[in-house]
Amino acid sequence: MDGTFVPWKDANVHVMSHALHYGTAAFEGIRAYPSGRQMYVFRLPEHLKRLVNSCKIFGFDLKYSVEEMRKATVETVKRNDLHEKCYVRPLVYIGFGGMGINFTGFPVHMAVLAYPFEKYFKGDGVAAMVSTWRRTSDQTGSPLAKISGQYTNSVLGKMEAVKHGFDECILLDLQGRVSEGSGENIFLVEDGKLVTPSVASSILEGITRFSVIKIAADMGIATVERDVSRSELYVADEVFFSGTAAEITPITSVDRRNVSDRKEGPITAKIRAAYMKAVAGEDPRYTPWLTAVY
């Protein structure tokens, strides 16, 4: 926190923190994976770039350089002596400088935390529902920015889905096109090709999404980025989520309509296997994506 390592129990913030009242925090969700005695942080520069961009969009004055944040992230994994699959969260947040929306002159804090984290979704496939909520649009916020306050949109979608007995929601954009999950991008498999909503459909530009597109291309599987309509979800050959926490997760039903016989489809399985090899440093083509911890 703010440049020093503090024990878990002391990692607290004041209740008057601006971020707690108004959602003014920018964050990242990163994973680190074991490979023998080594640990690799996956696509750290890309995550830090997105964090910088989130801060830029919302006007948070970041106090640390990308290099300092890179070191702090790696060091947090190391100091926790982590040797298993884990999650790493850098968080930039506006602290206490008074009451009111205007945070000019308020302190901008930064923390990085890391903890063991195996699987985001339980089971081998998820049941998704199309949410009654729409994904935050660029007219009312910024889909490209990972800002805590904006995650109330994801929370509405996720909690609605869970209350209705689903695992996850799929949010449409304001125009009714498919956008993404509460914390994942979405891909469809149609006639052996991948189809995924473009950045114009209010998505967060997922780093896993970019990785999937590259891994698929290297396998000779093309990806089309285009508008996706809701009913395509019902008839696609396969549908899956991509995200740092969710990794590659098959969607086995949408609105109670079965997808690929409620099993993981063959293309999803191929991409998932290749992704898991990439993150663990088992494919030399993708080792430039990894930052070694030890």
Distance, CA of 263 to CA of 240 (rounded, Å): 11
What is the footprint of ligand PMP within residues 28-47 (CB under 6 A)? 29
DSSP 153-201: HHHHHHHHHHHTT-SEEEEE-TTSBEEEESS-EEEEEETTEEEE--GGG
Catalytic residue among 146, 214, 263, 270: 146
Backbone phi and psi for residue 39, each to the nearest 5 degrees, phi listed first: -130, 135
Binding-site member from 48, 172, 207, 254 for ligand PMP (CB under 6 A): 207
Binding-site member from 17, 185, 202, 252 for ligand PMP (CB under 6 A): 185
Q: Which is nearer to ligand PMP, 95 or 181 (CB)?
A: 181
Supply the DSSP symbol for 227. Answer: -
Whether 146 is a known active-site residue: answer: yes
Binding-site member from 206, 250, 265, 281 for ligand PMP (CB under 6 A): 206
Q: Does 204 bind ligand PMP (CB under 6 A)?
A: yes
In the chain, at which residue ranges do the beta strands (DSSP E only) sit? 25-27, 30-35, 38-42, 86-94, 108-116, 126-134, 168-172, 178-181, 185-190, 193-196, 223-225, 238-243, 247-254, 257-258, 290-292
The binding track of 233-272 with respect to ligand PMP, each residue x by CB under 6 A or -, is: ---------xxx----------------------------
Q: Does 168 bind ligand PMP (CB under 6 A)?
A: no
# residues contacting ligand PMP (CB under 6 A): 14
User: Which residues lie near ligand PMP (CB under 6 A)?
Assistant: 29, 154, 180, 183-185, 204, 206-209, 242-244
Q: Would you name the residues annotated as active-site residues? A: 146
